[in-house]
Amino acid sequence: MLETLINIFHLIFSESFILTVVTASTPLLLASSGELMVERSGVLNLGVEGMMIVGAACGFAGAWLSGSILVGALSGIIAGAALSGMFGILTLGLAVNQVATGLALTIFGVGLSGLIGAKFVGEKIAPAAHLHLPMLTDLPGVGRILFGEDPFVYVSVALIIGIWLFLYRSRPGLVLRAVGDNHASAHALGYPVLRIRMLAVLFGGACAGLAGAYLPLAYTPFFIPGMTSGRGWIALALVVFASWRPGRLVIGAYLFGAVSILGLALQPLQLGIPQQVMNMLPYLATVVVLVLISRARGTAGSAAPASLGLVFVPDR
Amino acid sequence: MKKLNIIAVLAVLVLGVMTFGAVHAADKLKVGFIYVGPVGDLGYTYQHEVGRRALQKALNDKVETTYLENVPEGADAERAIEQLARAGNKLIFTTSFGFMDATVKVAAKYPNVFFEHATGFKRAKNLATYAARFYEGRYIQGQIAGKMTKSNIIGYIVSFPIPEVISGINATMLGAQSVNPNVKFKIIWVNSWFDPGKEADAAKALIDQGADILTQHTDSPAAMQIAEQRGIHAFGQSSDMIKFGPHAQLTADTDYWGNYYIDRAKLVLDGKWKSDDTWDGLDKGMVVMAPYTNMPDDVKAMAKKTEEAIRTHALHPFKCPIVDQNGKTVECKGGDRLDNGQILSMNWYVKGIDDKVPGQ
Amino acid sequence: MQLVLERRAERSTVVAIASPLIAIALTLVTIGILFAIIGKSPIEALRVYFVEPLTDPYPFFLQQEIAVKATPLVMIAVGLSLCYIANIWNIGAEGQFLVGAVCGSWLAVKTNGTDVGHWVLPVMLILGALGGAIYGLIPALCRVYFGASEILTSLMLVYVANLGLDYMVRGPWRDPHGLNFPTTAAFDPAASIGTLFEGPGRLHAGSIIALVVVMLGAVMLGRTLMGFQIRLVGAAPRAARFSGFDTNKLVLFTFAVSGALAGLAGIVEVAGPIGHLDPGVASGYGFTAIIVAFLGRLNPIGILFAGLFLALTFIGGEGAQIALKVPLDLTKVFQGILLFYVLACDSLIAYRVRLLRTARKVAPANA
């Protein structure tokens, strides 16, 4: 018993376990960061999975054709933004129901990614290079974790810090939150509600596209249809888990990633738990932790935008 | 009141285009395929698609092939199969175990259509079954792994606990034990056929726990790429993955259905088709080993010798005596080996695997 | 220049007729372009997608299949619409569907091979609905007692249900004669919902249950106090609070009802067209039903037609793969675009699009 616990302890605090967790969490963090901004502006885009998978297909296509990871990442970003643009035109321009449009966007995206990606199945690329700083990366223990990740990881961290600064330390961020909390008042104050929401939606699409591109550019450097495997849905759930707060989003994404990896890594240790239960762990853990957080703070801790998902048509 | 314009959409659509008549194709033998995954999955479904293309190419002037991909194994399967039968397909391959009951039902309704169900066990007058002896290749892989490993730990990434997967694990272990009694397996179930990210995570976890050879019964080349990055060896699955692991891949246990599909279509064309239970392996080219690479010559020679022995039926991977993980000797229903039924329904581990079959 | 929307003061009959025509015109153009690109006849495509499934001659195989496919979608969507009208976010219907299938199947598995009589099926249906309701109550209780968002909990419980089903059919309930494959034994006739007609079609009594569900849903929403509460909480949550309605009770009620309907759909699907329990029974119905709910404007009658419409696009898509040999992905792209059009044109009935010559200057807020 004690020996098993020590083994688990060693496992969790090993450098390679943490590196694996970072890789698994990064696409979740990227996609959910974008969706957090979208939802903070009052729009609910359930099409994250669709935008991610198109981002993956276009990201791989871009990198394979150009030989450059950067071009691939940009292709993914543009593809995700383009898809979210369609969503924005429909839901903001034509006041179409957001939930139905988001789900339709996922069906559309899954099909589109298959058509785009078909030509690239069976191809491979060199994955994004990991950072290597002399001295720093070679530091024992933390060197590779802090200074030896792939560029997407640093982008994801910069992104979420940027989002936090934007939302809480800048005037446009304040406006965005106001639009999400009460679009009628924001409109009455003269803010262009729909334009602000459109920008947020495009930003969210770009993030989802980048998150999708991360999969074939860094995680597993090849493309196969459906390779996002539901990560877009998890990203949506994480925004809720975070109560729409950037700080908690990081915790949520890394918690989910860590428990998923734990559910795999513990299996060979023979704990006598059915593998299905081990594979349930990340989902159960998020539910339990959310319940505990919510219980401790009550609903006061939530920053849920009051206008989330509601149609807004300006009166003139 | 809310108006239901959807009704109007439908009504006008129907009226608008009802006048166009049906078009029918020429009088070739129509052959239909039902796939469980997308044709571009690079794994199981892709291999069946390769087989279908081989059939179309070989008998191009005599057959016309059609497929339905990504067919869910729920209530949709029966309709999908029936749609193929209604469209005039006279020979229909349903390529996944989950289509079994649906195939049985449709076969009963269309007695003049020939059905072939992969990896199942229910047959009828117009319903045959076929499968490949994947475990033959896995026995060879086990031997190679037993020779090549330095840590004596083999990492095994698996999808779902079905008999084919369990018999693959056992064959690998028996092969490994035949050359190295100290081999241990570490097994991770990822509970998915289609999640490259998770397969990569499992591969990393196994390597971190000391595995220096990776084996997989999942479809994507993710684990192969991780092996390549970490400088260890791995085996491909379903298709040759050498492209993804030029320095890592030792060989791959690939399935090739083309010969079988061509044979069966020919039988229908000649009016000689009958319901069979086909279970071929290396002998008929249904299981094909990818070239042996990244290993010393003596290991390569051993692998080739074993492959030849299995091909000529001189060696059977499940030759008796076989002891299960509880130390009990398994009854030998096939004389000097396990019989097909025992292998097809395998749900126990052989001695030496200190894991537990999920659900047992 | 700028496009703006204006809410229509009253519904215009002209637009109500014109908007579906626009949707059709757009669909025709899209089909034309899509199929011209891959070099197939757009007219043939249209025929295969929409006409053939609806005009299939006796014994109406494809029409029956549309009903079979729509049945679980409609049942689930009616339940979900109650939640969504009241702004309660149950997105875990897929999980409730699975738990319903598992709970109902329990009896079928236990009585398999015994001749116990005709009470089995009705009890299975009740167990399925109960199981779904109880599973649906978990996120509801988490919200009511702990304030945990039901969006996350209901979604996460889908994955848990999936793995739980996986465990049951690979372990305890495995068919003893099934060569250890992950499936229960085929259900006995007493535990199965038979087809309504002889012949190739699979129309079953579950479709009748779905119709009853639609009618009950419409009556409940339109004619009962609970229906009034649901609509009031959705339309004016503050007013509802002031008038003393208990929102928590409503959360529990709508989750229980939608869970029960999803669970019922699950066991109907398993006891009906599938005939045994295996890991592949869900196929995403719980998620597709969310589209159906909104496509039907959260109105039970609308949901009935939306479910049939979506089923039509699925079955037409299969026909297109067979007859036109187009990849499934193209069908999905087409299905997505079609949904966009229908949703957009639906919106045009409520709003008017106007072209403004000059964009309205946006004044910075001084307040």
**What pLDDT score does A277 carry?**
92
Q: Is A222 on the interface with B (CB under 8 A)?
A: yes
**Chain A residues near residue B190 by CB distance under 8 angstroms:** 264, 279
pLDDT in tens, B336-345: 999 988 998 8
**Chain B residues near residue C167 by CB distance under 8 angstroms:** 359
**Chain B residues near residue A229 by CB distance under 8 angstroms:** 192, 194-198
Would C159 be classed as within a structural domain?
yes
Average pLDDT score over residue span A89-112? 94
Would C59 be classed as within a structural domain?
no
Contact A95 C346 (CB under 8 A): no
pLDDT for residue C353 is more than 80: no
Q: What percent of chain A has pLDDT over 70?
A: 97
**What pLDDT score does A86 carry?**
97
Best residue of C329, C357, C366 to probe chain A, by most A CBs closer than 10 Å: C329
Instruction: Name the band, by pLDDT with cuts 50, 70 and 90, for residue C362.
Output: very low
Average pLDDT score over residue span A88-112? 94
Provide the shortest C-alpha distance from residue A18 to chain B (in Å): 11
Domain that residue C303 falls in: 72-310
**What pLDDT score does C283 carry?**
81
**What pLDDT score does B177 carry?**
96
Provide the shortest C-alpha distance from residue A101 to chain C (in Å): 7
Question: Would you say the CATH fold of B134-254+288-311 matches that of B29-132?
Answer: yes
pLDDT in tens, A123-164: 999 999 998 888 888 888 788 888 889 999 999 999 999 999
pLDDT in tens, C220-276: 999 999 999 999 888 887 788 788 788 899 999 999 999 999 999 999 999 999 999
β-pair partners for C3: C355
**What pLDDT score does B23 carry?**
37
3-state secondary structure labels for all residues of chain C: CEEEEEECCCCCHHHHHHHHHHHHHHHHHHHHHHHHHCCCCHHHHHHHHHHHHHHCCCCCHHHHHHHHHHHHHHHHHHHHHHHHHCCCCCCCHHHHHHHHHHHHHHHHHHCCCCCCCCCHHHHHHHHHHHHHHHHHHHHHHHHHHHCCCHHHHHHHHHHHHHHHHHHHHHCCCCCCCCCCCCCCCCCCHHHCCCECCCCCCCCEHHHHHHHHHHHHHHHHHHHCHHHHHHHHHHHCHHHHHHCCCCHHHHHHHHHHHHHHHHHHHHHHHHHHHHCCCCCCCCCCHHHHHHHHHHHCCCCHHHHHHHHHHHHHHHHHHHHHHHHCCCCHHHHHHHHHHHHHHHHHHHHHHHEEEEEECCCCCCCCCCC
Would C336 be classed as within a structural domain?
no
List the 84-143 stretch of C: residues with Cβ below 8 A of A: 84, 142
pLDDT in tens, B117-156: 998 889 999 999 999 999 999 999 999 999 999 999 999 9
Contact C344 A96 (CB under 8 A): yes
C325 → chain B, closest CA residue: B66
Contact B3 C297 (CB under 8 A): no
Q: Is A11 on the interface with B (CB under 8 A)?
A: yes
Q: Is B240 on the interface with A (CB under 8 A)?
A: no
Q: Which residues of A4-41 are buried (b: 16+ CB within 10 A; e: fewer)?
A: eeeeeeebeeeebbbbbbbbbbbbbbbbbbbbbbbbbb
Chain C touching partners, 3 or more CB pairs below 8 A: A, B
A290 → chain C, closest CA residue: C148
What does the alpha-carbon distance between residue A35 and residue A204 come to, in Å, rounded to a whole number?
5
**What pLDDT score does B4 carry?**
45
Which residue has better confidence, C183 or A39? A39
Provide the shortest C-alpha distance from residue A114 to chain B (in Å): 8
Q: What percent of chain C has pLDDT over 90?
A: 55
Chain A touching partners, 3 or more CB pairs below 8 A: B, C
List the 293-332 stretch of C: residues with Cβ below 8 A of A: 294-295, 327-332
Average pLDDT score over residue span C19-39? 82
Contact B76 C342 (CB under 8 A): no
pLDDT for residue B16 is more than 70: no
Task: Please tell me which of the candidates C19, C172, C282 has its beta carbon nearest to residue B5.
Answer: C19
Average pLDDT score over residue span C188-213? 91
pLDDT for residue A298 is more than 70: no
What does the alpha-carbon distance between residue C211 and residue C308 come to, in Å, rounded to a whole number?
12
pLDDT in tens, A180-200: 999 999 999 999 999 999 999
**What pLDDT score does A51 carry?**
98
* Domain locations in chain B as residue ranges: 29-132, 134-254+288-311
Residues 6+ apart with CB under 8 A from A179: A41, A42, A186, A191, A193, A196, A197, A307
Residue C233 structure tokens: 């909480």
Provide the mean pLDDT of chain B: 90
Residue A142 structure tokens: 């933390």
pLDDT for residue B328 is more than 70: yes
Instruction: Name the band, by pLDDT with cuts 50, 70 and 90, for residue C23.
Output: confident
Would C204 be classed as within a structural domain?
yes
Provide the shortest C-alpha distance from residue C111 to chain A (in Å): 26
Q: Is C346 on the interface with A (CB under 8 A)?
A: yes
Instruction: Please state the domain count of chain C.
Output: 1
Average pLDDT score over residue span A241-265? 95
Q: Is B230 on the interface with A (CB under 8 A)?
A: no
Q: What percent of chain B has pLDDT over 90?
A: 78
A7 → chain B, closest CA residue: B209
> Could you give the domains of chain A?
22-130+150-301 (1.10.3470)
Q: Is A279 on the interface with C (CB under 8 A)?
A: yes
Q: Which helix (H) or strand (E) holds B232?
A: none
| CATH number, span B29-132 | 3.40.50.2300
pLDDT for residue C28 is more than 90: no
Provide the shortest C-alpha distance from residue A126 to chain B (in Å): 10
Provide the shortest C-alpha distance from residue B313 to chain A (in Å): 34
pLDDT in tens, A236-251: 999 999 999 999 999 9
Residues 6+ apart with CB under 8 A from C185: C109, C112, C113, C175, C176, C177, C178, C276
Best residue of B6, B12, B190, B348 to probe chain C, by most C CBs closer than 10 Å: B6
**What pLDDT score does A301 carry?**
57
Instruction: Name the band, by pLDDT with cuts 50, 70 and 90, for residue C355.
Output: low
Chain B touching partners, 3 or more CB pairs below 8 A: A, C
Instruction: Name the band, by pLDDT with cuts 50, 70 and 90, for residue B167.
Output: very high
ipTM for this prediction: 0.93
Q: What percent of chain C has pLDDT over 70?
A: 95
pLDDT for residue C359 is more than 70: no
**What pLDDT score does C237 carry?**
79
pLDDT for residue C58 is more than 50: yes
Contact A101 C343 (CB under 8 A): yes
**Chain B residues near residue C322 by CB distance under 8 angstroms:** 32, 66, 68, 83-84, 87
Which residue has better confidence, C145 or B25? C145
Q: Is A100 on the interface with C (CB under 8 A)?
A: yes
Task: Please tell me which of the candidates A24, A270, A278 has its beta carbon nearest to residue B197.
Answer: A24
**What pLDDT score does B22 carry?**
37
**What pLDDT score does B17 carry?**
40
Would C64 be classed as within a structural domain?
no
Contact C297 B2 (CB under 8 A): yes
Best residue of A98, A240, A284 to probe chain C, by most C CBs closer than 10 Å: A240
Domain B134-254+288-311 has CATH 3.40.50.2300: yes
Provide the shortest C-alpha distance from residue A112 to chain C (in Å): 6
pLDDT in tens, A72-85: 999 999 999 999 99
Task: Please tell me which of the candidates A118, A219, A267 has its beta carbon nearest to residue B187.
Answer: A267
Instruction: Name the band, by pLDDT with cuts 50, 70 and 90, for residue B19.
Output: very low
Provide the shortest C-alpha distance from residue B184 to chain A (in Å): 11
A118 → chain C, closest CA residue: C329
Provide the shortest C-alpha distance from residue C90 to chain A (in Å): 12
Instruction: Name the band, by pLDDT with cuts 50, 70 and 90, for residue A175.
Output: very high
Provide the shortest C-alpha distance from residue B40 to chain A (in Å): 6
Q: How far is residue B340 CA from its own chain's centroid?
A: 17
Provide the shortest C-alpha distance from residue B75 to chain A (in Å): 20
pLDDT in tens, B72-106: 888 899 999 999 999 999 999 999 988 999 999 99
List the 158-217 stretch of B: residues with Cβ below 8 A of A: 161, 186-192, 194-202, 204-209
Average pLDDT score over residue span A259-282? 91
pLDDT in tens, C114-138: 888 889 999 999 999 999 999 999 9
Task: Please tell me which of the candidates A105, A114, A276 has its beta carbon nearest to residue C166.
Answer: A276
**Chain C residues near residue A276 by CB distance under 8 angstroms:** 163-164, 166-167, 170
Provide the mean pLDDT of chain C: 88
